[in-house]
Chain A
Amino acid sequence: MLTGCAISAAVLSLSLLAQQPPPPKETKEPTEKEKEEIDSGIPIASEVVRKACSPCHKIDEKQRMSRISWRRTTPEGWEFTIKRMVELNGLKIEPAEAREVLKYLANNLGLAPEEARAASFEAEKRMIDYKYADKDTNEVCSKCHSMGRVISQRRSKGEWELLVAMHRGYYPLSDFQAFRRGGPPRTEPGPDGRPPDNRHPMDKAIPKLAEDLPLKTPEWSAWSANMRVPKLVGRWTFTGYQPGKGRYYGETVIKPGEKEDEAQTETRYVQVKTGETITRHGRALVYTGFQWRGRSFEGSTDKEGWREVMFLDRNQRELTGRWFTGGYEETGIDVTMARVGSDPMVLGLDRAALQTGGVRTVQIYGANFPADLAAGAIDFGHGVAVKRVVSASPSLVKAEVEVAKDATLGPRDVSVAGVVREGAAMIYDRIDGIKVKPQAGMARVGGINFPKQYQQFEAVAFHNGADGKPDTKDDLNLGPVDVTWSIEEYTATYDDNDKDYVGTLDSNGLFTPNVDGPNVKRRGNANNVGDVWVVATYKTPEGKVLRARAHLLVTMPLYVKFDQPEVSQ
């Protein structure tokens, strides 16, 4: 890094010297295109926003405010901006007022569901591998931060230009790091005889962004005309999955909040693996008619709570998203909530898969199951006989099923009282292999100055499928299995013994990183970062030993955290 900085500083000063002086400003009539762009600005009707922002942002004759009116984004995107205005531009604003500004901007200069969907991983804090289709743009932006920040924005071309200018002003080094081309311009013409494309990466990215993520879109026109405050009060089923903890089933009751777009919740769910019941109370806001932002607490001692980011479907029947907590929001539940009506609903089973041969009792979770449910009303398809109903309550049926020795392998739909849950069960005869998920994990040292980032691993069993070959499309996922976990050295550097320092892996696959800061026991006083293999060993009932592993990167803390937890308050 020392060298990196020294070199970059030198190059930076050179590039500043080489920079052309800006051309003198000419006052000329805007072109048709520019006029159109100006016209697309969104008027600001809110007095509160006008009052809070007008000291700096000019209001024109059509009630458009400079800069603000030519941009749309998520609640998090607006929160980000408001914080920067407070931090760097001297904005003084009371929290209550800020919340109102935020809500107005998110609702009236927000994203349509189709637009927000692609960027939902950003708000849901998911570790996913996202690559923007245009390579130049991807590089320009993701050299410093997630592309999620970018694709949750819509701006006019002029606004994209100003955004780049803002970065160059606040973070001058980004000019060298990402925005401008290194090396001399190419002089020889291309094969078509035209001069080479010597534009700087940022000059390629701006038109691309203006084209891909424009202010004015048919999606937003349609949604903003139709947008309304959703009516969510009532009973909802709760289905969740948390890596390492397994399946959750339960119910959420949504009650009216203080304001029309706010809600109070009571969620009660069972962790299938342990039978433990968890109750959470929370409150939430819905932005832009579909973006649920909430926070819920488990009992009165839970001060932090879990944040809830969910997406409401257009029919207002289903909420999907992620509830999360942790220093880096790495612990979370994938949640689906569905509105309970009068019909029965099947949510799923207590397990992922059923082995051929033998009788066992399975639990089917759902809602509105009839009290007098007969075995004949439960169907797993051919080869799986439902022997009897052991017990039935409106939300849980226990049934004895016998899977024939020769039952067809593969996914099965499960129906109860005429309602089908597709692919709720998997029939298999043996376990062929296991895989560790995620294949590339990441943790961060912490605990002294900075939070730890934990990483939960899971081992998932597989059947090779009809083709008998592993890692093909027809493999059957049999769900998580209990394995023995261990850490092995990933030999990237000789003799660094990462595995002795990075942290510990418990019997449930949860990796806890070591503390931050230098470690006197390590060579060169290094800190506890490193990379290792996480290895799962599984012994099948037949005595075969299966192994699988994943790469785990145990790395630095983040010393700065751009986060907007306030959007749910």
Chain B
Amino acid sequence: MKHLKSINRKAARIDRQADVVALQQGPPQQAPAPHFPLGCTLIFSPGWEADRNGGTAGLCTPVERDLFDCHAGCFWPAQVPDQLNHAPDWTAKCASAQKDWRKIDLVFP
């Protein structure tokens, strides 16, 4: 190679392409995130069901805390009823989601 100079032994092996393992190992060590289809929204950060890594660690739990924001802002129109059109009164009975979350209904638009 002309523009890269191998410095350590591993680099020299890659250079010689003798070290198949080093190449196979490739970049991101991270396992491909499991993909969940059917209405899943993995692309927002975080997604509704899963975070960017396919887990729940990056979700904004507990979700009850954030329902108002999602509802009022129409942020998750396919997951949380939207205040704008479909369910303007969705949280009317629920002054504090942390306390009154049992009063929230499932909405069938």
**A touches B (Cβ under 8 A):** yes
Nearest CB of chain B from residue A441's CB, rounded to whole Å: 9
Q: Chain A 160-194, CB within 8 Å of chain B: the 1/0 string?
A: 00000000001111100100000000000000000
- Confirm or deny: B27 has a beta carbon within 8 angstroms of a beta carbon on chain A: no
Q: Are B109 and A556 in contact (CB under 8 A)?
A: no
Complex interface: chain B residues within 8 A of A174 (CB): 74, 77
B window 10-30: CB within 8 A of A = none
Q: Are B108 and A492 in contact (CB under 8 A)?
A: no
Q: Are B86 and A556 in contact (CB under 8 A)?
A: no
Complex interface: chain A residues within 8 A of B65 (CB): 1-2
Complex interface: chain B residues within 8 A of A171 (CB): 74, 77, 82, 84
Q: Chain B 51-77, CB within 8 Å of chain A: the 1/0 string?
A: 001111101111111110110011111
In angstroms, Cα B40 to Cα A553, docked, is: 13
Complex interface: chain A residues within 8 A of B49 (CB): 442, 553, 555-556
The 8 Å CB contact of A145, one of B67, B78, B98, is B78
Q: Are A4 and B101 in contact (CB under 8 A)?
A: no
Complex interface: chain A residues within 8 A of B2 (CB): none
The 8 Å CB contact of B104, one of A130, A144, A449, is A449
Q: Are B57 and A492 in contact (CB under 8 A)?
A: yes
Q: Are B108 and A563 in contact (CB under 8 A)?
A: yes
Nearest CB of chain B from residue A517's CB, rounded to whole Å: 6
The 8 Å CB contact of A144, one of B36, B78, B87, B109, is B78
The 8 Å CB contact of B77, one of A144, A440, A451, is A144
Q: Are B108 and A561 in contact (CB under 8 A)?
A: yes
In angstroms, Cα B21 to Cα A315, docked, is: 53
Complex interface: chain A residues within 8 A of B60 (CB): 1-2, 4
Q: Are A127 and B36 in contact (CB under 8 A)?
A: yes
- Confirm or deny: A448 has a beta carbon within 8 angstroms of a beta carbon on chain B: yes
Complex interface: chain B residues within 8 A of A133 (CB): none
Complex interface: chain B residues within 8 A of A527 (CB): 61-64
In angstroms, Cα B106 to Cα A559, docked, is: 5
- In chain B, what residue has the closest Cβ to A551? B34
The 8 Å CB contact of B57, one of A128, A143, A496, is A496
Complex interface: chain A residues within 8 A of B5 (CB): none
In angstroms, Cα B74 to Cα A122, docked, is: 24
Q: Are B57 and A531 in contact (CB under 8 A)?
A: yes
A window 111-141: CB within 8 A of B = 121-122, 125-130, 139
- Confirm or deny: A297 has a beta carbon within 8 angstroms of a beta carbon on chain B: no
- Confirm or deny: A317 has a beta carbon within 8 angstroms of a beta carbon on chain B: no
Q: Chain A 520-537, CB within 8 Å of chain B: the 1/0 string?
A: 000011110111000000
- In chain B, what residue has the closest Cβ to A143? B43
Given A1-B60, A146-B38, A531-B55, verify A83-B98 contact (CB < 8 Å).
no
Complex interface: chain B residues within 8 A of A517 (CB): 64, 101-102
Complex interface: chain B residues within 8 A of A554 (CB): 56
In angstroms, Cα B57 to Cα A208, docked, is: 36
In angstroms, Cα B60 to Cα A103, docked, is: 43
Q: Are A518 and B55 in contact (CB under 8 A)?
A: no
The 8 Å CB contact of A553, one of B50, B70, B109, is B50
In angstroms, Cα B104 to Cα A294, docked, is: 31
Nearest CB of chain B from residue A346's CB, rounded to whole Å: 34
Nearest CB of chain A from residue B42's CB, rounded to whole Å: 8
- Confirm or deny: B107 has a beta carbon within 8 angstroms of a beta carbon on chain A: yes
- In chain B, what residue has the closest Cβ to A522? B62
Complex interface: chain B residues within 8 A of A129 (CB): 35, 37
Complex interface: chain B residues within 8 A of A146 (CB): 37-40
Q: Are B59 and A144 in contact (CB under 8 A)?
A: no
Most buried by B among A87, A493, A517: A517
Nearest CB of chain A from residue B104's CB, rounded to whole Å: 6
Q: Are B36 and A526 in contact (CB under 8 A)?
A: no
- In chain A, what residue has the closest Cβ to B49? A555
- In chain B, what residue has the closest Cβ to A491? B57
Q: Are B39 and A556 in contact (CB under 8 A)?
A: no
Complex interface: chain B residues within 8 A of A545 (CB): none
Nearest CB of chain B from residue A155's CB, rounded to whole Å: 20
Complex interface: chain A residues within 8 A of B50 (CB): 553, 555
Most buried by B among A121, A449, A451, A555: A555
Closest 4 CB pairs of A and B: A440-B34, A1-B60, A492-B57, A1-B66
> Can you pick out 16 interface pairs between chain A and chain B where the beta carbons lie within 8 Å of each other?
A83-B109, A88-B85, A121-B38, A128-B38, A129-B37, A143-B44, A146-B39, A170-B82, A451-B106, A493-B57, A531-B55, A553-B34, A556-B48, A556-B49, A560-B107, A560-B109
Report A's interface with B, CB cutoff 8 A.
1-2, 4-5, 8-9, 83-84, 87-88, 121-122, 125-130, 139, 142-148, 170-174, 177, 439-440, 442, 448-451, 490, 492-493, 496, 498, 517-518, 524-527, 529-531, 551, 553-563
Given contacts A562-B39, A562-B108, 20 further A-B contacts (CB under 8 A): A4-B44, A4-B45, A83-B109, A122-B38, A127-B36, A128-B38, A146-B40, A170-B84, A174-B77, A177-B44, A440-B36, A449-B102, A492-B57, A524-B61, A525-B98, A559-B79, A559-B81, A560-B78, A560-B79, A562-B109
